[in-house]
Structure 1
C-alpha cells in the first residue's frame, strides 16, 4: 500500500468564501475514492489541487518520485485541429497501439461511433468528452483523477467504464479518485468516500451505500437542521437495503446496523395512495398507444407498431441509445407529436409537462428574482400524505434558502437553475410529468431531495435518463426503445437495466410489442405477470437457514474484528518496512474478501 500522493494543510480561498481550510489527505496503492458533496463545496477544486493544475493559497501537494498522475477535467484541453486518432494514440503506428489490449478496450468502449480521422472541432460535445476520456485512459498512469467522467455516457458507457476501472485497479496497484453524481457508478467502483463540505474533507469507508449509512448514524446526533437532512438519508438507506437484488448482492455496509436504522421506516412511496390520487386527477384513462408509428423523411420509420398503455400513477423509466426514438415516443405521450400510423388516445383530463434538457422554461424569467418568479403561484400540489405543498416549501426542499430568493435567475448556478426549472414545471400542476435527463448539474444531496419530492407527487411519471440509480429509485417499471431496420420498437424490461444491457450486449433487436405485453403497466401494475413462485421451504430447511444465518453473523463479526486489529498493526508498523507492510496488506485483502463472501451469503439466505 505504497503512498502515491498527499496533501498537507491545503487552504484555498475564493473572493467570497473559503473553499478548503487545512485539508490533509492522501492516495495510496489500491485506493478507489469517490468524492461527494454539494455543488460549489470544492470537489472539483480539490481534484485540480491534487493534479497540480491549481496552486493552493497555503499548504502543499506532494507526489512520490516516479508516480504519474492524469486528470479528466470538466473542460478538456483537446486541440481543435487535431484528429480524434491523434488525440487518443498520438503518433503511434496502428500496429503499435492495436496490439495493446487496454487501448483496444478503451477505443471499443468509448469511441466506436466517433470518426477516427475527423478533427476535434467537428465533434459534438458528447463525442469530444468521450475522446478526452479515451485519451486519458489509454495512458499508463499510476493515479487517475476523474471529474464527472460519466457525463455524456449512456447506460452502456457507464457500465463499461465501471468494469474498466475495476479491472484496471484489481491488482491493488495505482489509485483513482472520482467526482460524479452517478450513485450507481460510485457504489460499483469506489471503496472509500470523501465528503467535501464546509471547507473540510470527511472520509467514510465504503462506497455510496456505506456513506449513506454512516451519514444517517452521524446526523442522528446533529442539530435540528441536520436532522432534517438525516431523515432524507434514512429514507435513501431504506431504499438501498430493500431494493432489487442487483443492488444488494454486494453489500458494502453492515447488515445489522442498516436494518436497525430502518426498522420503522416505511416504503419510499405509498403506491396505493398515489394511484388513488392520480386516478382522481386523471381518471382511469391516461395515454394509450395503439399500433402507433412515426415516419420522417419520406417514409423512414422512427417508431413502428407501438402498443402501450399508461395508467394513472404509473412510474416508468425509458431506456435507449441516442437516436433510438425516445424523444419521439415521449412526444406521442405528451401530444407534442401525432402518429403517422396507428392512433394515440389521451384522457380528457391529461395535462402533460416536459422537463427539458435545455432550460428553456427559464428564458423569459432570466432577469427576474426567484421570489418574483414564484409569486403568482399559491399551491403546487397535494402530496400522497395529504399535505399541500406551497412554492416556498418546494424551494426549501430543493435546497433554496431565503437568501437565494432575491437572486436573479440568470445569476444562479447550473444546478440551481435545474432545480428551479423543476419547481416551475411542478407549479404548472401537471398530472403527467416527463423528466428528460433530470440529473444534469445536480449533486447527490439534491438528487436525493428531488427523488423524495417526486415520491409524493400524485401523477403519471416518465423518466428518460442514463442514470440507472435514478431510474431504479423513482420508477417502478422500465421499457427500452430499441432501433431496428424497420423502425424503433418498444420492449418491456422485467429485468430492468440489467436486462437492457444484456440485450444490447447480445445485439438483440426487440420484436414488435404485443398489446398484452406492452400494456402491462396499467394502473397499479408493475410489469407482466410474475413467474411461478418457488416452492415454500420446509420447516427443517427454515431451521437450517436460521442456524446458518447465526453462524454467518458470528463469523462476520470475528473477521471484522480481525480486520480492525490488522488496521491497528499496520498503523503501528515501521513505514520503511515495505515487505512487512505488503504482507499485512495481503492478509487484510484476504479478510475483506472473506467478509464480502459471508455478507453475500447472508443476503442470499435473508432474502429467501
Structure 2
C-alpha cells in the first residue's frame, strides 16, 4: 500500500527548479534512504514529504489517517518545555495524558496539602491506565536514557544543539508514527548510540524516509534508495550496497555507449578530412552530425568533486604530548596522556559524547592549554583545523553574512599548487569543489548547510596544512564529498587526527585509535573501528565467562512429589579428571583474559616494528582461538557439574 506519493512535483529554488516533475511512492513497509550531493534537494524533499513546504506544482499525497514523525536537521522545540514534555509532545491521547499527569505532579510537589491537586493526580492516573499512558512515559524515559539525556526535567532552552536534536529524535521514535522521516539522525550521536538506533530502525514496523551520510547505517537500515540530483529523483531497489552495484553496472553501459560514440565520431571525422565531392543535402547532414558527435561530451555526475592540494613540507618532529591532563568543573576528561603524533599518523579519537575528544583536538591545535603536562609542536608544523563550529566560516557570515564565496577563499590563497605541480586559481578550485562560476559571488550566508561545510573544507585545505585535525568531518558533508576526502587522505603527505562517529569513515581513514572513556582514562587501540568492535566482542564474552565462573551454583529446590513415569537418561557426573580439567580451565581463562590487554598494549608500543607486530598479532589471534575453545569446554563441564 502506498503511504506517501509524489505526483509530478516541482519545487523551485531561485530561478532554477530544485525538483522537476518528480514522481515516486513510498510503500508502508519500505525503508528508503535519500542520497545526493549537497544542495541537490534532499532536505527539501523531506520537507515536502512532511508538509512543511508546499510544492510549486504537482501533488504530495499522504494516505488519510497516516501519522508522520519528523526529525529535522535543526529541530524546533517549544521554549520553556521540559525534556520529557518535548518528547511526549504528540497530539495523541496517551501523549496528552502524560503531559497533564506530569503537570499535576509538579503542582502537588509545590502544594502537597492541596486537595484539588491530590484529586487531579488520582484522576489522571486512572486516565493514564485507560489510554496506555504509563507505557508511553516509560518508553520516553527509557529512550531519553539510551540517548544520553539523563535529566528529563531539564528545560530544553538550556540544552546544546546536539542535545536538542537527540530530544527531537526521541520524540519521533516514541510517537511510533506510520512514516518516520529522519534528516541526518546520526549527527551528534556517539558510535554506541548509533549502533543502538541502527538496531531499532532495522526492526521498525512502519515506513522510513531517511537522509544520512553514514554509509554503514544506510546500508544496514534501508531497502530502497532515492538518488536526488539535477532536478530528478531516481529510485533503486535494495540497500546502499545494492545501489552501488546498480550504479556500477549503469556506468559500464554508459562507458560502452561513450566508446561507440567516439568510434562513430572518428569515422565521421575521417570522412570529413577526405572531403566530399558534392555538397548535397545528404553530405551536409553528415557534416552536421560529425560536428555534433565531436562537440558532445558525457554529462558529469553531480558528485564528481576533485580534492587536490600540496601540503607544506613536514619535519621529523610533529606534536608530542607528555603527561597531558584536562578536565572541566573538577571532573577529569583525560590525564597522564603521553602520545607522539608521527609524520604519517592516521589517528582516530573515539569515545562517548562528553569524553573530551574535541577538547583534545583543541589542545593539539593550540587553541586550549592543558591543565597539566606539556605539548611540544615541531617548527615545520602547519595545522589545518576543520572544527565542528566552522569558526572561520562563522566570521564570514557576521554582519549579515554578506562576504562572497570567492572573497572568502581568496583570503587564504589566490592561486593553488596541485600535487602534479600545476597551479590553478582559487576560482578554478571552487569549481573543482562543485561551486560553478555563476555561484562564486553568492554571499556565504545564502549557502545550504552542506555547501557551507564543503566551502569551509576547501578553505582549510587551501592553507596547505601538513597536519590535519578533523572534528566530525562527516557531519553535513554529502557522500560524494566524503568519498573524495577519503581518497585525498590516502595520499596526504602529513599527519591526520580525526574525531568521528562515522564507523565507515574511521575504517576507511585511520590506522589506530585512542579511546577516551570520559573518566580520565585513555586506551590506545591498534587498527580501525572494526578492529575495536571485535576487541569489544571478545572482551564481553570473556567477562561473561568470568562472571559465570565466579557465580555459585544455585541450591537445589525442594522436589515436588514424584509421579510414576519413565525415567529419562540421567546426566553423567563429572569424573575426577574432568573436575581437575574444570579447575584448570578456570585458571587458564583468567590468565588469557589478563594476557589479551597486555598483547594489545605491546602491539601499540611496537606498531612500527614489522617483525614484532607479526609475532604479536599471531600470538593474539591464537590466544583468542584458545580462549573461545576453553570457554565452550568450561560451559559444558560447568553445566554438568
Counterpart of 1:334? 365
Distance 1:6 1:310, change over 3 A: same
Alpha-carbon spacing, 1:522–1:97, altered in 2? closer, same or farther (3 Å): farther
Offset at residue 296 of structure 1 (A)? 5.7
User: Any conservation in 2 of the 1:219–1:230 contact (CA below 8 Å)?
Assistant: no
For 1:410 and 1:352, how far apart are their aligned partners in 2? 26
1:449 aligns with 2:481: no
Residues 129-166 of structure 1, C-alpha deviation per residue, up to 9 Å, x if partnerless?
A: 11121112112322212222223222222221111111
CA distance in 2, matches of 1:526, 1:159: 34
From 214, 219, 225, the equivalent of 1:187 is 219
SS at match of 2:313: helix
Match of 2:37 in 1: 38
The two structures have a TM-score, normalised by structure 1, of 0.69
Q: Distance in 2 between matches of 1:374 and 1:525?
A: 47
Q: Once the two structures are superposed, what CA deviation does each residue of 1:56-97 show, in whole Å capped at 9, x if it has no partner?
A: 233323333443332223343432132222232333368855
Per-residue CA deviations over 1:363-410 (Å, capped at 9, x if unaligned) read: 555544333444462654553x67667645543332122222233334
Alignment of 1:491 with 2:524, yes or no, is: yes
**Residue 129 of structure 1 corresponds to which residue in structure 2?**
165
Report SS of the residue matched to 1:30: coil
Q: Does the CA-based 8 Å contact 1:11-1:57 persist in structure 2? A: yes
Q: Measure, in 1, the Cα distance between the counterparts of 2:500 and 2:153.
A: 31
For residues 483 and 86 of structure 1, the distance between their equivalents in structure 2, rounded to whole angstroms, comes to: 29
Contact 1:480 1:500 in 2 (8 A): no
Counterpart contact for 1:370–1:409, Cα < 8 Å: yes
Could you tell me which runs of 5 or more consecutive residues in structure 1 were left unpaired when the two chains were aligned: 234-267, 536-608
Once the two structures are TM-superposed, the CA of residue 218 in structure 1 deviates from its matched residue by 2.7
Residues in 2 aligned to 1:52 and 1:526: alpha-carbon distance in whole angstroms: 61
Using the alignment, how far apart are the partners of 2:323 and 2:446 within structure 1?
46
Rg comparison, structure with higher value: 2
Counterpart residue number, 1:202: 234
- The question of 1:407 aligning with 2:431 is answered no
CA-to-partner distance for each residue in 1:105-138, whole Å, 9 max, x for gaps? 533322x424212232232222221112111211
Task: Please report how far the alpha carbon of residue 480 of structure 1 lies from its aligned counterpart in structure 2 after TM superposition.
Answer: 1.3
Report if the CA contact (8 A) 2:6-2:24 is conserved.
Answer: yes
Inter-CA distance 225–144: structure 2 relative to 1 (3 Å threshold): same
Q: Aligned residue for 1:547?
A: none
Offset from partner CA, 1:496-523 (integer Å, 9 cap, x none): 2573698599799x99999855555659
Aligned with 1:282: secondary structure? coil
Counterparts of residues 133-282 of structure 1 (less than 5 Å): 133-169=169-205, 174-220=206-252, 221=254, 224=297, 226=299, 281-282=313-314
Q: CA RMSD in A?
A: 4.0
Q: Give the distance between the partners of 1:460 and 1:76, measured in 2 at CA.
A: 36
Structure 2's unaligned 5+ residue stretches are: 89-94, 99-124, 259-295, 544-595, 623-641
- The equivalent residue for 2:509 is 474
Q: CA deviation at 1:339?
A: 4.3
Q: Which residue of 2 aligns with 1:307?
A: 338
- Provide the rounded CA distance (Å) in 2 between the counterparts of 1:183 and 1:401: 27
Residues 347 and 216 from structure 1, CA distance in 2 versus in 1: closer, same or farther, beyond 3 angstroms? same
Further displaced range: 462-471 or 491-500: 491-500
1:106 aligns with 2:143: yes
In 2, the alpha carbon distance for the partners of 1:501 and 1:107 equals 28
1:521–1:285 CA distance, 2 compared to 1 (3 A): farther
The correspondence of residues 500-539 of structure 1 with structure 2, limited to 5 A, is: 503=536, 516=602, 518-519=604-605, 531-532=617-618
State the alpha-carbon separation in 1 of the partners of residues 396 and 48 from structure 2.
37
- How many residues are aligned here? 483
Matches within 5 A, 1:311-390: 311-362=342-393, 365-366=396-397, 367-375=402-410, 377=413, 380=416, 382-383=418-419
Whether the 8 Å CA contact 1:399–1:446 is kept in 2: the answer is no
SS of aligned partner of 2:617:
coil
